[in-house]
A and B are shown apart, each in its own frame.
Chain A
Amino acid sequence: MFSGWPPPILDPAGPYASAISTLSWILFAMAALVLAVVLAALYVALFGRLELQRKLGGKRVIWFGGIAFPLVVLTGLLIYGLSLTRHLTDPITGDELRVRITGEMWWWRVAYLDNEGREVVHDANELHIPAGRPIVLELQSADVIHSFWVPRLSGKLDMVPGRRNLMRIQADRPGVFGGQCAEYCGGPHALMGFTVIAHEPGAFQRLMQSRLNRRRAPAPPAAVAGAQLFEAAGCAACHRIAGTRANGLAGPDLTHVGSRRTLGAGILPNNRGTMMGWIGNSQAIKPNNRMPPYTLLSSDQLTALATYLEAQK
């Protein structure tokens, strides 16, 4: 098949997306059927034999083709569609894993919640989940309306200021799933991506445990200079790294930045080079994002910062 097939919407990786994928195929079939009927009627009307045209040329055709036929098709679809909607919005039981995701201009704040609803682990632009069980996402916004969408796992749901929308996602098997903000949110809305990583349940447990247990930020000898620079250059004013004095909340939490797959909210692979480039002048990469350019930093300084940040796993 050609590249890009099957498209993510028709290539579901979990129960919520796959119900919609099935629905999509039914809808495509319905559309193809109706279109075929209309085109056939049109063909007869224009080029068909006279007796066929006579049959087609009366009010009865309007009653059948224009009223009865759509009525039957639509009623069937509606019943199916609404029962599916109901099924997909089954009440939330309360013992699912909960993650709060906040849309920001133009990145995603991620906070894993404990059973009491407290934020216990912070991250950004990336969500780790265990495969095979539903996760409840609390979607909210810090500024304008965004929309959370990872097509292979579920449909999209808006993040509306002043409201909290709940959404469930589930991946059947481990894997990596991309997503992107779907509601136009100004400026670099086009560059506001997201990644979901589904793990084996055991691996997920170990990952969360290690993050929960983390008390001090790792600073191997090579990264000490970077750690100092991080504070001196003002990074800490906007970014937080747990276990250090860096406690800024305006920008993404960098406690686990070294383990992220992407930088700049899903737009660059994460390696030392891209990290240096991002810090040096993110405006050239993602124009109008909220991080100022640091063109005054030397390449040695950028290396030091990148070395420090990539150690933050």
Chain B
Amino acid sequence: MTSETGFDPRLLERFPTAEARPDSEVDDLNRIWAAPRGWRMVTIVNNNYVGIWYVAAAFLFFLLAGVLALAIRTQLALPLLGVLPQETYNQFFTMHGTLMMFLFAVPIMEAIGVLLLPQMLAARDLPFPRLSAYAFWAYFIGGLCFFASIFVGLAPNGGWFMYPPLTSMTYSPGINADFWLLGIGFIEISAIAGAIEILVGILKTRAPGMTLARMPLFAWAMLVFAGMILIAFPAVILGTLLLELERALNWPFFDSTRGGDPLLWQHLFWFFGHPEVYIIFLPAAGLVSMMVSSLAKTELVGYQLIVLAFLATGFISFGVWAHHMFTTGMPMLSVGFFSAASMAVSIPAGIQVFSWIATLAIGKPVFNTPTLFVIGGLVTFVIGGLTGVMVAMVPFDWQVHDTHFIVAHLHYVLIGGAVFPVFAAFYYWFGMTSRRALSERLGKWIFWLMFAGMHLTFLPMHLTGLMGMPRRVYTYLPGMDWEWTNLLSTAGAFTLAAGVALFLFDIARRFRFTVEDDAGNVYGGGTLEWLPTGLYSSRSIPVVRSRSPLWDNPALSGEVEQGRHFLPNSATGLRETLITSPIRAEPQYLQIMMGPSVWPLLGAVFTAGFFLLLTVQAYTPAIICLPLAILAILRWLWDTDRPVQQAQVDVGAGVMLPTYVTGPSSHGWWAIVCVLVVAFMIFLMAVFGYLFVYGIHPEYWVSPGGQWWALPIVASWAASAVLVLYGWRLLGRDGSSTWSPTAAILFACGFAVTAIAADWFSWRAQGLDPELTAQGAFSHALLALQAQLVAVVVLMGGYLAARTARGLVTRPSNTTFDVVSLFLLYTAAQGSAMALLLRFFPGIG
């Protein structure tokens, strides 16, 4: 057997060890991983707690959005009702869509990931526990404040996809739209933070021997999910940034009278928005794949095909965005491409559906509540998928686009593809976090109410659409024959709600949070999350030899509990987990993990404060919040990247691993690379926008002049990059003080500032006005993006200097130093690319 990292695979044969380890080690683990109590609970970072808070918060937003849906359905029950006035209705449907997509669907998947993944991978926790806490708090605080806007009539009213120019200053002068742009833009940041955490967690913290081919399918799904978030979300972040700039500073990105184009927003939005649907669906498909296997008590049929299907879905989903734009008058060629891609994406879905059916066929499924939800979800999702194929047919889409047919279609897909699976998962994994399981008897009632309600609501709604009722209408006229289908839909909505209410009742009755004496493996799953656990996850980290280790080795739970696998104790007396290699999961080093801290919470409070105060135009307090947020985050980071005394420790059975590793195998390196991917995608989207508006309205463009400025600017960036490389070399040399490499970095920061300043002055000198044309607006927006990077670079430089002063920078290599260096190199590359693009395209003369 070959090795990925040089780790000798024969070492794994030492496990399980013959001897049980002393129980005192469990007491140590309990002490080290103990969660603070009382008011200090808010400083908890353990994934068990943060995960359950996260799930609860996402479910809360599901309920709030559901209440809005009931109000909407009440208003539409009959023609010309006055339950919701026009403006209220417009706010309600905007908030319903926004909450469901941004505050429920994506967060619930991240939440389930945070809750389940560490146990599923037998890691002690995800690699950046404080980042999870930050992501949760930012989301929770930001989401609640965002929702509160509805009580004061300031909720956004432009629809969840916020098309300009309706959402531009001219047609939406209130701050309603700003709530959406800043609120959602901010919550996206939290989603990205969560995605980085999950991605690095899955690739680097799996139990030894859990190769990619043995990974639970939920982990596979979450891996693709996290990757898709990193690629898709930057598009909407850039979009919201541009629209907010247009609103606040009158820069015309989407204003066709000044060379902008409203369709640019649609491209950016849907480049995010359609992958978003699969971002929601994939984790649910991962959950279903695992549950189907357990519920049918057999291995899943077609594991590899499902993995391929996940990857194919992720890939194809980036080629379908424009199917939301078939009615905008697109060229025939693009129509053909997007139509074909939209149909192709149903093939991976078909693979999954038939794999689940095949598994049910050879297994012995029992009709308990999760089984019902899984099967109900499958049927519902298939119907939604079929109407999806229908609307991928361009001429049919011309008829039903923006009608209630689409409303029906999307609810079939999302409820069948995500909501029912999540409810199945609630039942299936409930025993992991609660002392008592949920009631099976009530569960069946809940399922049938929800299932019947769902179909009663949305099946007739297809017909409502075919009868010509557009979506997003606050009322309709009598005499259109739309009454009876609407009335049925309203009745269905309340039936569905009754099921959810019953579920809440059962939760209130049965849910008793616990980590140790939980109800356990009620449905007989075979994956690692069903090992006996404490707050530290499983006592020791098992060597994984198959896809369903608990089925294949019934003794495993006992072995793990007796500490006969990896890391039966805390080797360093600190919180720690095993870092393994991304493909074969070979042990690489022991990561020292961060414990409870108030700083992620404070960071989230001040970040939320900054964005929300900006929205309500309280500029002074907003400006005060910004440095406070930065300080809180830096303070939390300050504790990280501290090598411990023991350079090598015994992680069980005499296997020695280092406690500090830098470079490409370290988790910090992976995280910064993810951040840079996000930065690059934002830049790429901005360049796309720049070229796109040029393609639409070239008549507004001028040759910018002053091309010679590119020379000093690119030279400054090059100098900055060279200094970084030099700094790296200096750090690698012997020496006592680490000031010389840090000085190189600081000079590099200086050159970065020089470069951006030169860029800025050159545009001032050329007199390119950001308010006059889209060209000016885009040039300035790209400059602003670059200036943001430089601001971060400067902060990083200061932080590195502070750590150098405290002697925290280690030789011959150091993770903080690597992170700063990589960020600087990327900034220099982007800065050069931008300086050249803006000056030499659209060409001289």
Contacts and interface: CB of A to CB of B under 8 A. Distances in A.
Interface of A: 2-4, 7-10, 17, 19-20, 23-24, 27-28, 30-31, 34-35, 38-39, 41-42, 44-46, 48, 53-54, 56-59, 61-62, 65-67, 69-71, 74, 77-78, 81-82, 84-86, 88-89, 105, 143-145, 147, 149, 151, 154-158, 160-163, 165-166, 178, 180-191, 193, 267, 287-288
Contacts of B613: none
Contacts of A163: 256, 263, 329
Interface stretch (B356-364, B516-524, B733-741): B356-364
A156 B402 contact: yes
Main secondary structure of the interface of B (DSSP, over half): helix
Contact of A160 (B263, B302, B350, B386): B263
Given A82-B339, A147-B327, A160-B262, A74 B365 contact: no
Contacts of B327: 147, 155-158, 182-183
Interface in B334-361: 335-336, 339-340, 343-344, 346-347, 350-355, 357-361
B374 to A, nearest CB: 11
Given A8-B467, A85-B394, A65 B256 contact: no
Contacts of A67: 347, 350-351
A46 B379 CA distance: 13
Contacts of A41: 354, 357, 361
Given A9-B400, A24-B396, A184 B386 contact: no
A40 B455 CA distance: 19
B335 A74 contact: no
Nearest to B161: A184
Q: 8 nearest interchain CB pairs?
A: A162-B256, A155-B398, A57-B362, A4-B481, A190-B473, A66-B354, A45-B361, A56-B361
B112 to A, nearest CB: 25
A267 B398 CA distance: 24
Most chain A beta carbons < 10 A, residue from B165, B344, B396, B472: B396
B481 A3 contact: yes
A189 B158 CA distance: 11
Given A53-B362, A144-B171, A161 B402 contact: no
B477 interface: yes
Given A151-B399, A187-B86, A71 B347 contact: yes
B72 to A, nearest CB: 12
A155 B163 contact: no
Nearest to A12: B399
Nearest to A65: B354
Interface in B715-767: none
A288 B394 contact: no
Given A154-B398, A157-B329, 10 more contacts: A7-B467, A10-B466, A20-B399, A30-B386, A54-B362, A56-B362, A59-B302, A145-B163, A147-B401, A155-B395
A158 B365 contact: no
Given A77-B343, A157-B327, A62 B395 contact: no
A62 B362 CA distance: 13
A144 B399 contact: no
A145 B485 CA distance: 28
Interface in B388-414: 389-390, 393-403
Interface string B465-500: 011101111111100111011000000000000000
Given A8-B468, A45-B358, A59-B305, A27 B396 contact: yes
Most chain B beta carbons < 10 A, residue from A17, A54, A156, A166: A156
B90 interface: yes
A41 B357 CA distance: 7
Contacts of A186: 90, 157-158, 166, 171-172
Contacts of B328: 158, 160, 165
Contact of A161 (B262, B329, B332, B362): B262
A166 B389 CA distance: 26
B640 interface: no
Interface in B262-287: 262-263
Most chain B beta carbons < 10 A, residue from A20, A88, A161: A161
A23 B396 contact: yes
Nearest to B403: A182
Contacts of A46: 360, 365, 375
B424 interface: no
Given A3-B484, A156-B398, A78 B339 contact: yes
Given A156-B399, A190-B473, A70 B346 contact: yes
A121 B714 CA distance: 59
18 contacts: A3-B484, A24-B396, A42-B357, A44-B361, A56-B361, A59-B301, A59-B302, A61-B354, A62-B354, A144-B171, A155-B398, A161-B257, A180-B470, A184-B159, A186-B172, A188-B474, A189-B470, A190-B476
Most chain B beta carbons < 10 A, residue from A27, A71, A158: A158
Contacts of A188: 86, 474
A66 B350 contact: yes
Contacts of A48: 361
Nearest to B697: A162
B481 A85 contact: no
Given A9-B468, A66-B355, A156-B402, A4 B484 contact: yes
Interface string B161-190: 001011000111000000000000000000
Contacts of B467: 4, 7-9
Contact of A147 (B263, B361, B402): B402
B535 interface: no
Interface string B8-39: 00000000000000000000000000000000
Contact of B395 (A81, A178, A180, A181): A81
B402 A155 contact: no
B378 interface: yes
Contact of B484 (A2, A24, A69, A193): A2
